[in-house]
Amino acid sequence: MLPYLTDRFGNPSGSHSVARAARLALDDARDDVAAALGCEPGEVVFTGGGTEADNLAVLGGHGAVGGAVVCSAVEHHAVLLACRSLEGTTVPVDAAGVVDLDALADALHPGVGLVSVMLANNEIGTIQPLDEVVAVVRDRAPRAVVHTDAIAAVPWLDVTSAARPADLVSVSAHKFGGPTGVGVLVVRGGTALGAVLHGGAQEHGRRPGTHDVAGIVGAAAALTAAVAGRHTEIPRVRALRDRLADGLVGGVDGVVETGGDRSAKVAGSCHVLVSGVNQEELLLLADDAGVCASAGAACASGALEPSHVLLALGLSAADARTAVRFSLGYGTTDADIDVALAVIPKVIEQLRG
């Protein structure tokens, strides 16, 4: 990334030599991203992050096609609130967080213009049956554009196949080791997409605005590395996650994994409910002891709000406030899990008094 912040700092839309160098880097990055996501380079739209990609998909898809909008109740706010702004319908999920296909079928009709169902949930890691979702949509709402938010699915799933049936696919670089503030929306050939931002001709006018060349170069490199490492990393991280989850559930009373069956979740996700413990207190003490974990979503002030995902699973607001999420990545080691398993049970014991 560094050269594109220093001596190769050019605007790729320009025509002089420095600009052309930046343009070549952008073109290479686009090829790499397309290869990793299983699409054509011309189908890659770079955005300023995942939220922007999701909003472009929902608002732009709706803008081009019109009609009613439908999404699942466990979508990230970037999709959920965009759909809500269009007075869309949300489809419930089961206790594991999997979208209810019968309820989806009921919500669909020929007037539906856009359906958005995520590939993997960002909080609890549940993988959605996207093939079945899309089959239902094609059957009941043949005109609808299908979007999948694959932000939490990369690097854990092979998006080239898993997101294949979707017309629009969003990803976000910082979820796979790239920089923050860079996203991609895959717009499959022939998919209509309206403009959300208005301005220059970048990304064929689908995302006007000067490119963040350094960020895009970094995102492409990270995505390529993430895909290359998947075969060895996923089994390794899954084993670490299983050790962590088993250690917490088996080692401490009143700890349960959220949403049941672990095999239906991405490998890096460990999400638990700790009975009788407030998540804010647990996170604070864990952080003090060197374990960085998270929970739900924060409001503008930084305070934690009860997660809409957990509420959609049928949990009470009180239970949702006992939730803690441990996210593992390619960089997570055996020693990290040792630390977490030494720290977290002690913290829980202290907080329960």
Nearer to other proteins, 95 or 298 (CB): 298
Nearer to other proteins, 105 or 285 (CB): 285
Q: Please, what is the minimum distance in Å from the beta carbon of residue 329 to other proteins? A: 24
Nearer to other proteins, 88 or 306 (CB): 306
Nearer to other proteins, 115 or 282 (CB): 282
Q: Which burial class, exposed, middle or buried, applies to 214 when counting CB atoms under 10 A from its CB (0-12, 13-18, 19+)?
A: buried
At 252 the three-state DSSP class reads coil
Nearer to other proteins, 201 or 299 (CB): 299
Q: Please, what is the minimum distance in Å from the beta carbon of residue 47 to other proteins? A: 26
Q: Please, what is the minimum distance in Å from the beta carbon of residue 126 to other proteins? A: 25
Listed in sequence order, the residues at least 6 apart from 74 whose beta carbon sits closer than 8 Å to its beta carbon are 93, 97, 99, 118, 121, 123, 124, 126, 308, 309, 312, 313
* Whether 83 is catalytic: no
Q: Please, what is the minimum distance in Å from the beta carbon of residue 202 to other proteins? A: 32
At 177 the three-state DSSP class reads coil
Residues in contact with other proteins by CB under 8 A are: 278, 280-281, 284-285, 298-305, 317, 350-351, 353
Pairing relationship of beta strands 145-149 and 183-187 according to DSSP bridges: unpaired
- As a whole number of Å, the CA-based R_g of the chain is 21
Nearer to other proteins, 15 or 301 (CB): 301
Nearer to other proteins, 189 or 353 (CB): 353
Residue 92 CB: number of other CB atoms within 10 A? 16
Selecting among 83, 270, 292, 299, the annotated active-site residue is 299
C-alpha distances out from residue 72 to 59, 137, 183, 275, 298, Å: 16, 13, 21, 27, 21
Q: Please, what is the minimum distance in Å from the beta carbon of residue 285 to other proteins? A: 6
Task: Name the DSSP letter for residue 126.
Answer: B
Record the tokens describing residue 256, joined without a space: 């349960």
At 271 the three-state DSSP class reads strand
Q: Dmax of the chain from CA atoms?
A: 68
Q: Is there a contact between 67 and 99 (Cβ–Cβ < 8 Å)?
A: no
Taking the C-alpha atoms of residue 215 and residue 322, their distance in angstroms, rounded to an integer, is 36
Q: Please, what is the minimum distance in Å from the beta carbon of residue 347 to other proteins? A: 10
Q: Please, what is the minimum distance in Å from the beta carbon of residue 282 to other proteins? A: 10
Q: In what order do the strands lie in the sheet with 68-72?
A: 44-47, 183-187, 168-172, 145-149, 112-116, 68-72, 89-91
Which bin fits 109, alpha (ψ -120 to 50), beta or left (φ > 0)? beta
Q: Which sequence positions are flagged as catalytic?
A: 299
